[in-house]
Amino acid sequence: MLRFFIKGLIRDRQRSLLPIIVVTLGVMLTVLGHTWITGILGDVIDFNARFSTGHVKVMTSEYFENIDQMPNDLALLESEAFIAELQEKYPDMTWVERISFGGLIDAPDEEGETRAQGPAAGMALDLLSPESKEAERLNLQNILLKGTLPTSPDDVILSDEFASRLEVEPDDQVTLITTTMYGAMSITNFTVCGTIKFGVGALDRGGIIADISGIRYAMDMEDATGEILGYFPGGEYPDEKAITLAENFNNEYADEEDRFSPVMVPLRNQNSLTGMIDIIGYMSGIIISIFMIAMAIVLWNAGLVGGLRRYGEMGLRLAIGEQKGHIYRSLLSESVVIGIVGSVIGTLIGLLFASLMSKGIDFSDMMEGSTMMMPGVYRTQITPESYYIGFFPGVLATVFGTALAGIGIYRRQTANLFKELQA
């Protein structure tokens, strides 16, 4: 019977061509939309994890309450011993120390007088240890525009836009004016070893990256760190696992009466990412629902038109004794075949466009004024779900549309069949 349906659909293109085209377009848009949304949200989460939040972050409870102020006076003390404890307790994870700091960068002229100044938001991380993978994690080598990465504690990297505004080049001297962990003023000279482009407006306006040993010296933070970031193996952020880990850690270490007690915060509770992570879970369902409803309406109308064209055929089949239920089920079987064929074609076309867009589209010019930690280049991401997600609206919408259109079969009166056929 299935072969009979397939042959009928192939030989009668008017019966199958329009529904297949509709299903193909709907499935293609579903797959492309899914890969695009997944890619954008995945890039945002990955960017924040690498540059700011980690998969989980450990800091003092008071530091977390005032994190926007970069309160290094509330830093974790004895960080070397504490990070060793974390590595022993959670050996599968990677733990790294970071210091976020702010200050004023002063660029002197040939006589040592101030030529230009600008506010800076900096990040200190381990760039000199042989076993450190921080430079690779932040992709510094690929976004380096001029010069080299730091080779000594006195080297810093400036964002290229910031360096141009200060009129400094690699090997020039700059002065960082900031405060120590104890609130005293700190004035320290550094050498600009290179410039980079983050691709994020908030960082490109005044970003600075330094080795953590040099910033510890400048800010009097020996054996102290503002934040300890933890990364799960594989690089992907497992939301439920991170939440469970943070809850277990806080039950053991957190103390509400001690403002310097360590707390662990998962990525979803930082940088206003909670809603964005939840969107990932809902978006696929929203996309499928929208296209399924739209296709069902179109296919319902196509089914009604097709039913009018096949009015005589249905009447003849009823006249020779075929049951209404059998005819109805045969129409549903045809719709399943149409849905599968259209879904396969639409999925292939959608994946083709998604692969072409996987290199990314640069929106950095549109985000120059943004203060959020968001990448400037967005790309599609093909996941295992991309290969089958289009079949849900493709098949279900076709069957639903046909089911609505085919109800008219049950309204045909057998007594009037011969009169209809003669007409």
Q: How far apart are CA 149 and CA 142, in angstroms?
A: 11
Q: How far apart are CA 399 and CA 283, in angstroms?
A: 23
Rg for the chain, CA atoms, rounded: 31
For 415, the token pair is 């007594």
Between the CA of residue 253 and those of 15, 229, 263, 300, what are the distances in Å? 68, 16, 7, 60
Q: How far apart are CA 175 and CA 186, in angstroms?
A: 10
Q: How far apart are CA 286 and CA 134, in angstroms?
A: 37
Q: With a cut of 50, list the residues of the chain below it in pLDDT.
A: 367, 369-373
Residue 184 makes CB contacts below 8 A (sequence gap 6+) with 220
| Residue whose entry in the numeric block shows the structure tokens 């001690």 | 258
The total of other beta-carbon atoms located within 10 Å of residue 192's CB is 23
Q: How far apart are CA 78 and CA 75, in angstroms?
A: 10
Q: Concatenated DSSP letters for 151-211?
A: -STTEEEEEHHHHHHHT--TT-EEEEEEE-TTS-EEEEEEEEEEEE--S-HHHHTTEEEEE
Quote the distance between the C-alpha of residue 404 and its chain's center.
38
Beta bridge partners of 146: 195
Burial grade of 166 (CB within 10 A; 0-12, 13-18, 19 or more):
buried
61-74 pLDDT, tens digit per residue, is 999 998 888 899 99
DSSP state, residue 148? -
Q: Which phi and psi (to 5°) does residue 114 adopt?
A: -65, 125
Q: How far apart are CA 237 and CA 288, in angstroms?
A: 24
Q: How far apart are CA 73 and CA 66, in angstroms?
A: 11
pLDDT given at position 369: 47
Q: How far apart are CA 106 and CA 113, in angstroms?
A: 9
Burial grade of 269 (CB within 10 A; 0-12, 13-18, 19 or more):
middle
Q: How far apart are CA 399 and CA 334, in angstroms?
A: 9
pLDDT given at position 248: 93
Q: How far apart are CA 274 and CA 323, in angstroms?
A: 55
pLDDT given at position 5: 55
For 373, the token pair is 């930690």
The total of other beta-carbon atoms located within 10 Å of residue 90's CB is 15
Burial grade of 194 (CB within 10 A; 0-12, 13-18, 19 or more):
buried
